[in-house]
Amino acid sequence: MKDASPATAPKTFYLKDYTPFGYDAESVHLTFRLAPETTRVISRIRFAPKPDAADRTFFLHGEELKLISAKIDGQAVTPELVEGGLKCEVPGAPFTWEAEVEINPAGNTALEGLYMSNRMYCTQCEAEGFRKITYYPDRPDVMSTFTVRIEGDEPVMLSNGNPMGQGEGWAEWHDPWPKPAYLFALVAGDLVNHPGSFTTKSGREVELNIWVRPGDEHKCAFGMEALKKSMKWDEDVYGLEYDLDLFNIVAVDDFNMGAMENKGLNIFNSSCVLASPETSTDANFERIEAIIAHEYFHNWTGNRITCRDWFQLCLKEGLTVFRDAQFTADMRSEPVKRIEDVIALRARQFPEDNGPLAHPPRPEQFQEINNFYTATVYEKGAEVIGMLKRLVGDENYYKALKLYFERHDGQACTIEDWLKVFEDATGRGLSQFKLWYSQAGTPRLKVSEDYADGTYTLTFEQSTPPTPGQPDKAPRVIPVAVGLLSPNGDEVRGTEVLELTEAKQSFTYQGLASKPVPSILREFSAPVILERETSNAERAFLLAHDTDPFNRWEAGNALAKEVRVAMVLDGAAPDAAYLDALEKLVRDDDQDPAFRALVLTPPSQSDIAQTLFDRGHTPDPQKIYDAAETFTQTLAQQLETSLPRLYAATTVDGPYAPDAEGAGKRALNGRILSLLTRLDGGEQAARQYQAADNMTQQYAALGALLKAENGEAQSQAFFKQWQDDRLVMDKWFALQIACAAPEKTAATAAALTRHPLFSMKNPNRFRAVFGALAGHHAGFHHASGEGYQLLADNLIALDKLNPQTTARMCAAFQTWKRYDAGRQSLIRAQLTRIAGTDGLSRDTTEMVTRILDA
């Protein structure tokens, strides 16, 4: 008889159950004898019992390891192999543990632990991958110094820290900084380096390298400059210096995430470090600069000060995302970066926070930690730090950070430690603020206003809808940055931060000559949903006059949303006043092109769907799509006479450079081209495609042509030109799906999975196809259900190879409760089918169960 419960019931881990490991790991020696299918790992670890330990169980994590031998103080022992690791009787005094295990890197398609990518050995240990390399207390609060010997015939063999020596067939490395095992890294293969160097503020010469496969050397220069800028910026802004003589970055093609901050040996998805004008878009350049900064910044916020346990993940990720955003704002444009981040927050974090996967930035339970590298932990985690900074002020913020680095260097910390530092540095209590870390859900902020006799009152009411496991929410501290404008457009009150602490609260302004127009939540000062009854005329006024660039964009964005919603619900024509406002802005050459491009970028169709749902309607994806098409077509017609001039005026002359200014101009130029294509059917786009000497323009032209269903020839030419470049091919796969009409989206994606260059084993390629499918709102949610079925088929297939990437992509289904009964039942059927698959991974099981339980 078949057992009703799964073979291994998934275990849930709880924050409240934290207990320290009973032993210190004083030093770790590892020897790797590399062989693709039979790598031997020999570990020698000095353990010392902790005098005050409550629990002395000697349990070492280990998965998919073949134990060859184990010794304690040189004597063979026979550990008890248990689920997820081993247990062993050990002495009550310090001892040396030795083990030899065999692993199979070539057979490792999950890309966790030691695996092979393009004949190159590499590792990914965060969060719990080290246990696939050897038996070890694989938890971030166990920190030790690592010495590593690599034996093999690979030309280049790297690990963390400093090189200790090398010879024919071997290399030795030593990392003097104690670290958790998740920061361990090893890379070996046929690699070439792009060298560089940096002198730290105290005069330390640091050797820098970007290691790549032969043939990719010409794509390293930009990343190297980004690295140097990051090192300098962290010294200038945070006073933080690099702490080794060597910093290596390696590019690998098969990688589940974007990049990883291993001590002194960062490993990058090649898509996040390799760049050249011919093969990378402006967006790629910006992302690469940010991610190199992000991983570098982890050296202090993550490595020197790490997390006590994985529940504290936002301690390092939220803070490091916050830091990389500051960096990008400084390198490029502060308002543009803020607008981009808010667009991303609304696209990724809000759906998560308002659906079945909602969890607080510091979750209290998980089954598979890989499922908690989420928009909430990262982006909301960063927003929480932004709020903290706003509440305590810049000076206090840097004072607190200084204290954090002094007090906690070398430690594995918690959110409590983090907040205590702020309390001690500023004298301010943060117990209510802490709710941001423990409560899930996006607060709604209702605003009403009152004006009489020169006194203006703003009243705020906050509430947060229930989320899984959290039916009731307490009021939080919400910093609301507000400015007031007079009806003639002058600012009558500069930005002031109102601190909300209660469910309902009013603030008054005295001595105003007339009723002002409020500009609320400037710079998006808190990750909340603002609910305010206001007119489109007022939004248009703010779009024209607000002194806060974020809120100017926001006013335009809100206006765009209202217009779309009206079009969808009432079949209304696009609002003429809004079209006029847009036209005025687009033609205003005094305005920053990047800003104009952002205002011209329509709100996402998924965002419109959520807005409709929030207002009690059932969104129809096809209608939302049609409204978007009609709107854009009408805008193109309205701008008809100015488009050729605008196109010419925004065309960047001279050689391509990936700076913010050029990128802003090209972004606007790309928007103009897509409008132009609606009128000329693709004449200008075909010319641009022909002439383009950089990927930004080539890609924009191809996208416009494919959207107009007039790009077959260019698509084939593109394929021919770039078929040997994996990263450009990812773009080719994705773009065809993104530009397909809704009724053809799933079929286009399905056809591409049969293309010889499609691969289930390369996460970038899989994501190119299925990320584009899931990101095509009307295509994915087409009433036929083909999109759902195709994604489910492929998730089921991928789960056998790569659970981590499969599980992350299940999130495409998280918004299913927004839609009509027909679509809901189609999605439920697919989720149920995935959930019922034999041998489904723990990762994917957890995700589909949570989504289904909604």
Contact footprint for ligand BES (CB under 6 A): 126-127, 257-261, 290-291, 294-295, 298, 317, 321, 373, 378
Q: E strand or H helix at 147, and its extent?
A: strand 144-151
Q: Least CB distance from residue 767 to ligand BES, whole Å?
A: 11
Q: Least CB distance from residue 359 to ligand BES, whole Å?
A: 16
Distance CA 283, CA 343 (A): 14
Residue 576 preceded by cis peptide, ω within 30: no
CB 728 within 8 A of CB 768: no
Q: What are phi and psi of 192, to 5 degrees?
A: -120, 155
CB 122 within 8 A of CB 252: yes
Partner touching 373 among ligand BES, Zn ion, none, CB below 5 to 8 Å by kind:
ligand BES
Say how many C-beta atoms besides its own lie within 10 A of residue 42's C-beta: 18
Say how many C-beta atoms besides its own lie within 10 A of residue 756's C-beta: 6
Q: Which residue is nearest to ligand BES (CB)?
A: 258
Residue indicated by tokens 């629990």: 55
Distance CA 67, CA 340 (A): 49
Which is closer to ligand BES, CB of 305 or CB of 612?
305
Indicate the SS3 state at residue 379. helix
Closest CA to 6 of 833, 838, 848: 838
CA dist 544 → 402, 489, 547 (Å): 41, 9, 9
Which is closer to ligand BES, CB of 111 or CB of 521?
111
Distance CA 255, CA 253 (A): 6
Distance CA 531, CA 539 (A): 14
Say how many C-beta atoms besides its own lie within 10 A of residue 656's C-beta: 18
Q: Least CB distance from residue 290 to ligand BES, whole Å?
A: 6
Indicate the SS3 state at residue 407. helix
Q: Least CB distance from residue 420 to ligand BES, whole Å?
A: 24
Is 26 among the catalytic positions?
Answer: no
Instruction: Give the CB-side neighbour count of residue 793, counting CA atoms within 13 A.
Output: 10
Distance CA 668, CA 697 (A): 11
Classify residue 18 as exposed, middle or buried by CB count within 10 Å of its CB (0-12, 13-18, 19+).
Answer: middle
Which residues partner with 186 through β-bridges? 159
Which is closer to Zn ion, CB of 320 or CB of 688?
320
User: What is the CA 303 to chain-centroid distance, rounded?
Assistant: 19
Task: Please give the residue ranges that form the binding site for Zn ion (CB under 5 A).
Answer: 317, 320
Which is closer to Zn ion, CB of 317 or CB of 620?
317
Q: Least CB distance from residue 259 to ligand BES, whole Å?
A: 5
Indicate the SS3 state at residue 28. strand
User: What is the CA 454 to chain-centroid distance, rounded?
Assistant: 46
Instruction: Give the CB-side neighbour count of residue 331, counting CA atoms within 13 A.
Output: 27
- For the chain, the first-to-last Cα distance in angstroms comes to 31
Partner touching 445 among ligand BES, Zn ion, none, CB below 5 to 8 Å by kind:
none
Q: Least CB distance from residue 843 to ligand BES, whole Å?
A: 12
Closest CA to 414 of 385, 440, 437, 441: 437
Q: Least CB distance from residue 370 to ligand BES, whole Å?
A: 6
Which is closer to ligand BES, CB of 141 or CB of 154?
141
Which is closer to ligand BES, CB of 128 or CB of 353?
128
Q: Least CB distance from residue 595 to ligand BES, whole Å?
A: 24
Concatenated DSSP letters for 775-801?
Answer: H-HHHHT-TT-HHHHHHHHHHHHHHTT
Closest CA to 184 of 347, 350, 41, 391: 41
Q: Least CB distance from residue 459 to ligand BES, whole Å?
A: 37
Residue indicated by tokens 């602490």: 501
Distance CA 172, CA 177 (A): 16
Closest CA to 90 of 100, 80, 104: 80
Indicate the SS3 state at residue 412. strand
Which is closer to ligand BES, CB of 247 or CB of 460?
247
For residue 321, give both structure tokens: 């995302």
Which is closer to Zn ion, CB of 321 or CB of 481?
321
Classify residue 415 as exposed, middle or buried by CB count within 10 Å of its CB (0-12, 13-18, 19+).
Answer: buried
Which of the residues 261, 286, 295, 340 is marked catalytic?
295
The sign of the CA dihedral 842, 843, 848, 851 is: positive
Which is closer to ligand BES, CB of 548 or CB of 843?
843
Helices and strands in the chain, H and E counts: 29, 31
CB 749 within 8 A of CB 770: yes
Q: Least CB distance from residue 23 to ligand BES, whole Å?
A: 25
Which is closer to ligand BES, CB of 295 or CB of 341?
295
Distance CA 112, CA 104 (A): 12
Partner touching 731 among Zn ion, ligand BES, none, CB below 5 to 8 Å by kind:
none
Closest CA to 751 of 410, 740, 350: 740
Partner touching 413 among ligand BES, Zn ion, none, CB below 5 to 8 Å by kind:
none
CB 279 within 8 A of CB 728: yes
Q: Least CB distance from residue 258 to ligand BES, whole Å?
A: 3
Which is closer to ligand BES, CB of 224 or CB of 484?
224
Q: Beta 144-151 vs 170-179: how paired, if at all?
A: antiparallel
Partner touching 482 among Zn ion, ligand BES, none, CB below 5 to 8 Å by kind:
none
Query: Catalytic residue numbers?
Result: 295
